[in-house]
Structure 1
Amino acid sequence: MKALRIVLHQDSANYKKEETIDNKMTYPLPPISTIIGALHSACNYKEYHPMDISIQGKFESMHKEPYTDYCFLNSTMDDRGILVKMKNEDFLSKAFDKVAKTTKSQGSSFRNGTTIQVYNKKLLDEYRSLKDLADKIKNYKNKELKEKLDTIKKEKSSLTLQKKKLDKKSEEFKIISQKEKEVKDNEKKLKDEIKEYEQKYYTKPISKYKSLTTSIKYYEILNNIDLVIHVRSDEDTLNDILENIYNLKSIGRSEDFVDVKEAKIVELYEGDCDVDNNLSMYLNYEDVKDGYISPKYKDGKPINGTKYYINKNYEIKEGKREFVKKKVLYTSYCAIEETSDNIFLDNTDEKNYIVNFI
């Protein structure tokens, strides 16, 4: 069977575990979905091309790298964090202008100018004007508007009582009903006017202001990584990947650049064998369970591995991505005695790779 063998090197990379939040931990090898996504991007595919992947490799060391985490709070806080104004009104972009930041953990106020450092006085004045307007709108609702609505409510109650005493077919009933309609229309107009005014002059402008908090968190970074990737797919897809392989710029983060050392179509071997592999790799858990491939040293001594549920491809269901997860065993050494539907040997160019497709 033919497959595409890709040999890559990365100076550093983080293959982020999606469940980690506070600090971005890394898988020891890139997940299948990361490889598939990178290959689809290199070929500019817009739809999924089915493929199976075998991933193996090694890294020299691992270190932690600090980064600043930006967190936008759900509401604007007057006494904490950093006050910013978003540049994109629809919040599609995280670009922002700094307005001011608090200099103490307690007792600060952007509105009152208490213990803050100002970056943009013009924007800070705009923020304060919006907060002043919010107070005016609130006072208007609680006093003047409330009085008007209370008067309307009493008038509606009075008209309702009058209608109950009249014949529904009488001319007077019709006149009072028309008057009642006018009163209700006036009530709706008053409510709509203040709602529209508040939306236009306060709610929409103030939504551009956000409270931002920052904290130092860490990436786990792998160093000096060598990867050997085998791809099983239809012939056209393999040729597409081979033709576009140098469009593959990174795996992991966008800054985790790759150096493509080799990419070629190879013939995979099937049959009885007794071969071990010295590279770390993801093993298909079902193949391990069925005894086709074993995590063990050269001398045959069994070793442990780490189980992962990693993403492969996804399907769109109800407008959302739903990933197909695969159970794998990550191990540093493995051996086989015979090949199977998912297990092959690659001995092209006198190299000897165990290939376990997932």
Structure 2
Amino acid sequence: MKAIRLKIEQELVNYKVPTSFQLKETYPLPPYSTVIGMIHNLCGYKEYKPMKISIQGYYHSKVNDLYTRYEFKPGLKYEKGRHQLDINGYGIGKGVATAELLSEVELLIHIVPDNHKLLDEIEQRLKFPKEYPALGRREDLAVIRELKVVEVDWKDKTIQMNLPNSYAAYIPIDLESENKSELKDGGTRYTLNKNYEIVNVGTNKKPKLFRKWVKKEVIYSSQVRVTRKSKVLVDEDQNVLFLA
């Protein structure tokens, strides 16, 4: 099996937690949907191309930053004492809110498309992108330090493994159910978005379309101990993969 390996650096970034509002919280690493979205945008894909992703990395610290926040409700008329902006008779609130930012981020990402014929195409689109890559917010520019197609295979491991450079990784819970590797050390549990389908919860005459997300249960951890007679997925340079 082959994978595209990316080494990315970012200066300041927010990988927004969807349920955070007053404080725009950030995940410690980009969720699968964010990475997949960047790939599809740079490749110009208009429909989802199934793929598996492994995400690990490091950040130096967290800081808080202020940003301008706009609030509005569809159809709500402008009220002088309530709204700061009048847009064609409709009211919009304008204020200040806080966002968490990660500083000096390093990422190691592996991409394995289900259709292996897409490997060369994705590699070329990432190597010569149509616009500057961004991962997170639009302004969170991603500097690609390495882009390489690597061989990936299952290897026998019987000792505790430490990820390189103080990295942590998203480790899918269902790795244990595959009976190939087992997570022994604890970490923080997240439910991350991966991809979505458009579903109609209305009628054919009055459709109401929503995104139904496919979610992945993961452990965010920096240490993994693989049990005896288990296997772990590694690339040709012995980097460990946790594909989801």
Q: TM-score range by the shorter chain?
A: 0.7 to 0.9
**How far apart are the structure 2 equivalents of 1:83 and 1:280?**
44
**How far apart are the structure 2 equivalents of 1:281 and 1:22?**
27
**How far apart are the structure 2 equivalents of 1:22 and 1:49?**
34
Cα distance change of structure 1 residues 83 and 5 upon mapping to structure 2, 3 Å threshold: closer
Task: Write out per-residue CA displacement over residues 157-184 of structure 1, whole angstroms, 9 at most, x where no aligned residue.
Answer: xxxxxxxxxxxxxxxxxxxxxxxxxxxx
Secondary structure of 1:236's counterpart equals helix
Alignment of 1:241-320 (within 5 A): 241-246=122-127, 247=129, 249-273=133-157, 274=159, 276-278=161-163, 279-288=167-176, 292-296=181-185, 304-318=186-200, 319-320=209-210
Partner residue of 2:112 out of 232, 235, 238: 232
Tell me the matched-pair count. Answer: 224
Q: Does 1:336 align with 2:226?
A: yes
Alignment of 1:1-150 (within 5 A): 1-72=1-72, 74-84=76-86, 86=87
1:54 deviates by 0.4
Secondary structure of 1:293's counterpart equals coil
Aligned to 1:202: none
Moved more, 327-336 or 22-31: 327-336
Q: Which amino acid aligns with 1:49?
A: K
Cα distance change of structure 1 residues 30 and 83 upon mapping to structure 2, 3 Å threshold: closer
1:232 deviates by 1.2
Normalising by structure 2, we get a TM-score of: 0.85
Q: Residues 295 and 305 of structure 1 are in contact (CA less than 8 Å); yes or no, is this contact kept in structure 2?
A: no
Secondary structure of 2:18's counterpart equals coil
1:354 deviates by 1.2
Secondary structure of 1:40's counterpart equals helix
Q: Residues 184 and 226 of structure 2 are in contact (CA less than 8 Å); yes or no, is this contact kept in structure 1?
A: no
1:78 deviates by 3.7
1:223 deviates by 0.5
CA RMSD of aligned residues (A): 1.9
Secondary structure of 2:77's counterpart equals coil
Q: Residues 181 and 226 of structure 2 are in contact (CA less than 8 Å); yes or no, is this contact kept in structure 1?
A: yes
1:291 deviates by 7.6
Task: Write out per-residue CA displacement over residues 10-58 of structure 1, whole angstroms, 9 at most, x where no aligned residue.
Answer: 1111000111111110000000011011001111111111100000000
Moved more, 208-217 or 7-16: 208-217
Q: Which is richer in strand? A: 2
Identity %: 33
Secondary structure of 2:38's counterpart equals helix
Secondary structure of 2:35's counterpart equals helix
Secondary structure of 1:38's counterpart equals helix
Q: Does 1:219 align with 2:99?
A: yes
Q: Residues 339 and 345 of structure 1 are in contact (CA less than 8 Å); yes or no, is this contact kept in structure 2?
A: no
1:80 deviates by 3.1
**How far apart are the structure 2 equivalents of 1:339 and 1:13?**
36
Segments of 5+ residues of structure 1 without an aligned counterpart are: 87-207, 297-303
